[in-house]
Each structure stands twice: as structure tokens, then as C-alpha cells.
Amino acid sequence: MKTLTQHINEWKITNDSNVEIKKVKVESYKELSSIIYDRYQEDNKIIDLSDIDVSNIISFSDQQVWMPYYYGLFSCLHNVEIINITGWNISNAENLACMFYKCINLKTILGIEKLNVSNVITFKGMFYHCENLKCDLNNWKIHKDAIISGMFKGCYNLTLPKWYKY
């Protein structure tokens, strides 16, 4: 069985090469969510989504009229430790609310530091209770009016980015 470090190192090698990976284009949150849950099993600690083209998706969360909260793309995947979103183009995205909500064992999100989040309006609860997450978001360019309430609540191992205002 491979260790988490071995998986990360393999992805770094693969993604640093000039090999073009054929991407599966998805058009909606619902379609992407379906792919994630098809790939996710209770004992799965790793979800690799680097082969998914998400460039047309505007919202990575779902808010139903009857729910006072958002349901994020990876919400409550308690056993997942690594999510690979390397190469994702989310420059059209406006909503990342609760995207990783209560992913309590999530340690690494490969590719997150390179995301273009300049058009995102709400990050509300994006990493809420990602208790073991470590990532560097200092290079993110956040819109001055973006909603960031609860974005890092319960993130005990995460160093808050310089741009974050409590």
C-alpha cells in the first residue's frame, strides 16, 4: 500500500511533465458532484480529479431554498486525506461556499494554491472544520468585497493567509 507521501510525489512528477492529460469536461455542480461520489468510497483516502475540466462551472456549492446553508462539493467526506485538483481552471467561479465543509481528515489539496479565485464572491465556510488541512493560500487574489465569513473556522493546523481579515 502506498503512503500519502508516495502518492503526492507521483502526482508532482506526473504534473510537472509535459504529458497532456485528456480532461473530462463537466458543465455543472450537479454533474461534478456525481463524478466525485462515483469515485469516492468510504475507505478512499484519496480523490484524484485532475482529469476534470471545470472551467464552465460558476458555483461549486448548492443552496436549496429549503436549506439555510450551502452544500459544498466535497462536504462531509470525512475519510478523505488528499484531494487532487491540479490544473483546475475556476476563473469563472463565483461561489466556493462550504466547498470542503467538515472534511475533518483532509490534509492536502493538491493544486489549490494555483487556483484563480479573483472572481469568487463567496468563500463562506469553504474550509469549515478542515481540522488537519495544511496549504498555502497566500498567493490568492481575493476580491475586496468577497464574503469570507467562517472560511477557516475550526482549521486548527492551517496557517491563515496574510490577506485574511478575521
C-beta separation of 100 from 74 below 8 A? yes
In the DSSP assignment, the letter for residue 80 is: -
pTM: 0.84
Domain ranges of the chain: 32-166
Integer angstrom CA distances of residue 13 from 8, 55, 82, 134, 148 = 9, 24, 16, 21, 34
pLDDT in tens, 68-117: 566 889 988 889 999 999 999 999 999 999 999 999 999 999 999 999 99
